[in-house]
């Protein structure tokens, strides 16, 4: 254990040291490194898939469910997708070095802000091995050193991928220590890593609500927390019913296991009967179970083929991550806003309405990372927002909110060009 | 004590509630409130000065030193200065509502970011009563609710000022709870306040290094830490000697008690003899004591009228906040960069040079909030940087770095205008 801790510290030191050089590594070198990674993902599929098979075998021996198996699985198509994602990051503009707010002050000082990397980033995540490559490439392009710690179940895949990345970027002369992976999956090392604020500037935890909370509570460095999405879609009195049904269906069904999927349907009483009958029928085709408040239950209970339950208190503010949605009839937009303020997690919230004033009030008054007017909350995603990719989604207000792309992995410094100025 | 805790919670709740309304309060109302504050600072000088006299009397009874007395002191000139500062904040553009990065995506979604307040801010500070008005006005203009907690020694002044602010903004119909002041100066309430992350989004601690560290360690909400400035000025081989002497003199002498004052002089060995003789003579006139490394001591020890000491290990990386500077001769720019990387606090660092490449390397490679080329570090200040004012200076990289003005007290939310889009 003492050895493991010493090793962890050395990883931290190496990251910090590498970060000083990465801060002013040229865009050309960084892009060359990214091209090398993509190349190797295409040419070394065999090694990666062999490692992945080991993880899958172990997972099945442990009786892991199908969803989890699918999250673990790599194949040639997925590796090609990863290679394309890396190439995409290479085409994105380098955020580092951007100068903004530059101006000449009355005393002749030229003052502005220059974008710089954050330094060394720690990332803790679960199962999906592609996250290893995603986060490594985004950190590299934004000039940050990164220490990766993946889940135990994907250890062989992650090790193979991180070694591939390390070799690929070394060929482009990226400083050693830029991308490191913690091989030891001992849980107690998580806590040790959270105390390494001397070496790690920012921690990005990805995983369950409980895990993210644990990191927030114990980390000594800055944390970008998020990913917990209790997402509401409110169907206003004047909603276009077809759009409303399509949006709710998409937000709930297209990928129910993710944070931007719909959890609660709020619907105005004046449109509830028509809307709920239609949407419930569609959702039933996908096997969605509805947890209904008294009013929505009385509308739906006579319909055939629906999976209905009476909602309990715990259904409000719950992130289902499954084919389940809570349903509530509200008396007004104000009641919907109140409900969202009380139960939302500040992730993604939507209104469907044809009324201008209602739409604008919702956009203004809902306090969340992403607020939608007539669109599915499933769009909350770095690539869908034009950021190219993301290392996570922040539900906090400090530093960055919503999807974290390259720019969100940077800070700035003030640069001041003088000619001997002193303060009077 | 239980009553005090309950009261504190009520203050937190009221702030959170007010912040929801403040978020979309019009710029006109906010500016009217600021004009009212300035008006009252001019018309109610008598009440404020009476309260301030009580604090001064108590302070003198407690044997507080002259510097501290001066920090506490209010008079008509100072109140007029405060009124002018408030009027200045009123003239600054409102950061809230600014929309940026707005674009139409290929699927027709119109996506952008809209600037919003952070919510409720806590501020803990010491002695100077003008901070009460400074922070209150900046938070108000940026749409944030604020809970102020000033030092015990300024309690009467702070109470009078915060009541003045509350009455002035109430006349402009700013929601109640926007500006609150904690009257109870019991130290144990600090810890209670740090646990109120349910109500307070950001804590701004101002004060000693130890106090800021205590807040960082114990706060459950985000903290913008800073204010600790271990500031170096490096005199390069090619420096213009006159500028170098003027810059170092200004950075050390103009206001030695603040965070952006010079602490350590680094000087290239090739210019050390000439430069140090001149600067030491000037600094001696102001009574500055120099803590010299062996090489600088051997240059200066024969000169008359200087206050010299041999530097000890603790002098490097020390924030003196007094008329003391450490002095070190270095062999090269690289050695200066290494020294700053090791001992700097990431606040303000300067180089004096006429060499283009040295200047650019320093600007690029020094990792600090503010990096100066040929100017005094004393300029690190919101008003000097064109931000109008500041609530503090951040030495961290997350969220905001350097002086925190109005924009730095905001976050953003993504707003998405759709027309029925769903994710394929």
- Please report whether residue A423 resides in a domain: no
CA distance B107 to A374: 13
- Please report whether residue B396 resides in a domain: no
The 10s digit of each residue's pLDDT in B118-131 is 999 999 998 789 99
CATH number at residue B176: 3.40.605.10
Q: Of all helices (H) and strands (E), which one includes residue B45? A: helix B45-61
**Distance (Å) from the C-alpha of residue B42 to the closest C-alpha of chain A?**
27
- Where residue A66 falls among pLDDT bands split at 50, 70, 90? confident
**Distance (Å) from the C-alpha of residue A117 to the closest C-alpha of chain B?**
9
Q: What is the pLDDT of residue A64?
A: 87
- Please report whether residue A350 resides in a domain: yes
Listed residue (A421, A119, A98) closest to B368, CA to CA: A119
Tell me the residues of chain B between 196 and 225 that have a Cβ less than 8 Å away from chain A. Answer: 201-202, 222
Does B423 score more than 70 pLDDT? Answer: yes
Domain of A200, in residue numbers: 2-224+404-416
Listed residue (B206, B204, B193, B227) closest to B154, CA to CA: B206
**In this structure, are B305 and B327 located in the same domain?**
yes
Listed residue (B370, B388, B352, B387) closest to B260, CA to CA: B370
Q: Of all helices (H) and strands (E), which one includes residue B104? A: strand B99-104
| Residues whose CB is less than 8 angstroms from the CB of residue B414 and which lie 6 or more positions away in sequence, other chains included | A369, A370, A371, A380, A385, A401, A402, B111, B112, B113, B114
Q: What is the pLDDT of residue A160?
A: 97
- Where residue A162 falls among pLDDT bands split at 50, 70, 90? very high
- Please report whether residue B52 resides in a domain: yes
Q: What is the pLDDT of residue A206?
A: 87
- All residues of chain B having their beta carbon less than 8 Å from the beta carbon of residue A118 are 397-398
CA distance B319 to B311: 14
CB of B119 less than 8 A from some CB of A: yes
**Average pLDDT over chain A, rounded to an integer:** 95
The 10s digit of each residue's pLDDT in B13-44 is 999 999 999 998 999 999 999 999 999 999 99
What's the total number of domains in chain B? 2
**In this structure, are A174 and A60 located in the same domain?**
yes
**In this structure, are A216 and A286 located in the same domain?**
no
**In this structure, are B356 and B290 located in the same domain?**
yes
CB of A367 less than 8 A from some CB of B: yes
Contact B381, B375 (CB under 8 A): no
Determine the residue of chain A that is closest to B413 in CA distance.
A369
Find the length of chain A. Answer: 424
Q: What is the pLDDT of residue A227?
A: 72
Q: How many CB atoms lie within 10 A of CB A370?
A: 30
CA distance B140 to A356: 29
Q: What is the pLDDT of residue B1?
A: 54
**In this structure, are A238 and A368 located in the same domain?**
yes
**Distance (Å) from the C-alpha of residue B415 to the closest C-alpha of chain A?**
5
Chain A interface test: which of B119, B283, B420 (most A C-beta within 10 Å): B420
CB of B413 less than 8 A from some CB of A: yes
Q: What is the pLDDT of residue A213?
A: 87
Q: What integer is the mean pLDDT of A244-251?
A: 98
**Average pLDDT over chain B, rounded to an integer:** 95
**In this structure, are B177 and B241 located in the same domain?**
no
CA distance A401 to B412: 7
Q: What is the pLDDT of residue A69?
A: 87
- All residues of chain A having their beta carbon less than 8 Å from the beta carbon of residue B114 are 363
Tell me the residues of chain A between 90 and 109 that have a Cβ less than 8 Å away from chain B. Answer: 103, 105, 109
**In this structure, are A105 and A142 located in the same domain?**
yes
Does B189 score more than 70 pLDDT? Answer: yes
Greater confidence, B226 or A50? A50
**In this structure, are B122 and B193 located in the same domain?**
yes
**In this structure, are A238 and A119 located in the same domain?**
no
Percent helix, strand and coil across chain B, each to the nearest 5: 45, 20, 35
Does B207 score more than 90 pLDDT? Answer: no
The token pair at B330 is 């270095």
| Whole-Å CA distances, B5 to B192, B194, B223 | 7, 12, 21
- pTM to 2 decimal places: 0.93
- Where residue B172 falls among pLDDT bands split at 50, 70, 90? very high
The 10s digit of each residue's pLDDT in B390-406 is 898 999 999 999 999 99
Please name every residue paired with B232 in a beta bridge, in sequence order, or none if there are none.
Answer: B264, B349
Check A398 against B247: CB less than 8 A apart.
no
CB of B417 less than 8 A from some CB of A: yes
- Please report, rounded to a whole number, the percentage of residues in chain B having pLDDT higher than 70: 100
- Where residue A389 falls among pLDDT bands split at 50, 70, 90? confident
- All residues of chain A having their beta carbon less than 8 Å from the beta carbon of residue B105 are 384-386
Tell me the residues of chain B between 312 and 351 that have a Cβ less than 8 Å away from chain A. Answer: 341
The 3-state DSSP class for residue A124 equals strand
Please name every residue paired with B278 in a beta bridge, in sequence order, or none if there are none.
Answer: none
Q: Which of A19-28, A209-218, A351-360, B325-334 has the lowest mean pLDDT?
A: A209-218
Which regions of A94-144 does DSSP assign to beta strands (E)?
99-104, 110-117, 120-124
The token pair at B67 is 């510097």
**In this structure, are B295 and B172 located in the same domain?**
no
The 10s digit of each residue's pLDDT in A166-191 is 999 999 999 999 999 999 888 888 99
Determine the residue of chain A that is closest to B17 in CA distance.
A341
Does B180 score more than 60 pLDDT? Answer: yes
- All residues of chain B having their beta carbon less than 8 Å from the beta carbon of residue A379 are 109, 416, 421, 423
CB of B398 less than 8 A from some CB of A: yes
Chain A interface test: which of B375, B401, B402, B424 (most A C-beta within 10 Å): B375
Check B367 against A422: CB less than 8 A apart.
no
- All residues of chain A having their beta carbon less than 8 Å from the beta carbon of residue B412 are 401
CA distance B214 to B205: 9
Does B227 score more than 80 pLDDT? Answer: no
Chain A interface test: which of B118, B248, B382, B422 (most A C-beta within 10 Å): B422
**In this structure, are B65 and B200 located in the same domain?**
yes
CA distance A406 to A239: 36
Q: What integer is the mean pLDDT of A346-357?
A: 98
- Please report whether residue B422 resides in a domain: no
Chain B interface test: which of A109, A113, A217, A359 (most B C-beta within 10 Å): A109
- Where residue A1 falls among pLDDT bands split at 50, 70, 90? low
Tell me the DSSP string of B324-339. Answer: EEEEEEESSHHHHHHH
CB of B356 less than 8 A from some CB of A: no
- Please report whether residue A397 resides in a domain: no
Check B414 against A371: CB less than 8 A apart.
yes
Please name every residue paired with B413 in a beta bridge, in sequence order, or none if there are none.
Answer: B114
Please name every residue paired with B114 in a beta bridge, in sequence order, or none if there are none.
Answer: B99, B413
Check A423 against B384: CB less than 8 A apart.
yes
- Please report whether residue A422 resides in a domain: no
State the Cα angle at B105 between B99 and B109, rounded to 5°.
Answer: 75
Q: What is the pLDDT of residue B186?
A: 87
Q: What is the pLDDT of residue B259?
A: 92
CA distance B199 to B7: 13
Does A77 score more than 90 pLDDT? Answer: yes
Q: Look at the block and give the residue holding tokens 């407690």.
A: B62
CA distance A94 to A233: 36
CA distance B34 to A337: 30
Q: What integer is the mean pLDDT of A90-108?
A: 96
CB of B382 less than 8 A from some CB of A: no
| Residues whose CB is less than 8 angstroms from the CB of residue A26 and which lie 6 or more positions away in sequence, other chains included | none
- Please report, rounded to a whole number, the percentage of residues in chain B having pLDDT higher than 90: 86
- Please report whether residue B398 resides in a domain: no
User: What sign does the dihedral B368-B374-B378-B384 (CA atoms) show?
Assistant: negative
CB of A195 less than 8 A from some CB of B: no
CATH number at residue A268: 3.40.309.10
Q: What is the pLDDT of residue A168?
A: 98
| 3 state SS for A49-64 | HHHHHHHHHHHHHCCC
Q: What integer is the mean pLDDT of B76-82?
A: 95
**In this structure, are A63 and A168 located in the same domain?**
yes
Q: How many CB atoms lie within 10 A of CB A385?
A: 23
Q: Which of the listed ranges A379-388, B227-236, B351-360 does the model predict with the highest average pLDDT? A: B351-360
| Whole-Å CA distances, A221 to A198, A203, B79, B111, B220 | 8, 7, 40, 32, 13
- Residue A220's Cβ-count burial label (10 Å; 0-12, 13-18, 19+) is middle
The 3-state DSSP class for residue A412 equals strand
């Amino acid at each position: 254990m003492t050895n493991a801790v010493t090793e962890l510290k050395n990883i931290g030191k190496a990251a910090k040291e590498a970060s000083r050089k990465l801060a002013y590594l040229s865009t050309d070198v960084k892009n060359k490194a990214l091209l090398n990674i993509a190349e190797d993902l295409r040419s070394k599929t065999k090694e990666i898939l062999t490692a992945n098979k080991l993880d899958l075998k172990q997972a099945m021996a442990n009786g892991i469910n199908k969803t989890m198996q699918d999250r673990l699985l790599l194949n040639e198509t997925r590796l090609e997708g990863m290679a394309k994602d890396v190439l995409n990051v290479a085409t994105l503009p380098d955020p580092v070095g951007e100068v903004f707010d530059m101006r000449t002050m009355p005393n002749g000082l030229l003052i502005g802000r220059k974008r710089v990397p954050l330094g060394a980033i720690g990332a803790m995540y679960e199962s999906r091995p592609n996250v290893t490559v995603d986060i490594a490439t985004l950190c590299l392009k934004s000039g940050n050193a990164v220490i990766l710690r993946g889940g135990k179940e994907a250890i062989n895949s992650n090790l193979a991928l991180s070694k591939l990345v390390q070799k690929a970027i070394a060929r482009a002369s990226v400083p050693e220590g830029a991308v490191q992976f913690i091989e030891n999956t001992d849980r107690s090392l998580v806590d040790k890593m959270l105390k390494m604020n001397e070496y790690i500037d920012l921690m990005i935890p990805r995983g369950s609500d409980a895990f993210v909370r644990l990191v927030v509570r114990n980390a000594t460095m800055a944390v970008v927390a998020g990913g917990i999405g209790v997402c509401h879609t409110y169907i206003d009195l004047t909603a276009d019913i077809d759009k409303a049904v399509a949006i709710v269906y998409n937000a709930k069904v297209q990928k129910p296991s993710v944070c931007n999927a719909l959890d609660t349907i709020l619907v105005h009483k004046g449109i509830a009967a028509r809307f709920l009958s239609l949407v419930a029928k569609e959702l039933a085709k996908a096997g969605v179970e509805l947890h209904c408040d008294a009013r929505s239950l009385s509308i739906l209970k006579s319909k055939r083929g629906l999976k209905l339950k009476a909602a309990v208190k715990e259904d409000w503010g719950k992130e289902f991550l499954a084919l389940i949605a809570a349903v509530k009839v509200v008396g007004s937009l104000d009641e919907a806003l109140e409900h969202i303020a009380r139960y939302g997690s500040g992730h993604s919230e939507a209104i469907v309405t044809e009324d201008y004033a209602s739409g604008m009030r919702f956009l203004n008054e809902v306090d969340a990372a992403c607020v939608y007017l007539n669109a599915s909350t499933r769009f909350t995603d770095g690539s869908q927002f034009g950021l190219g990719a993301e290392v996570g989604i922040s539900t906090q207000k400090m530093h960055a909110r919503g999807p974290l792309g390259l720019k969100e992995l940077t800070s700035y410094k003030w640069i001041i060009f003088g000619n001997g100025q002193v303060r009077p």
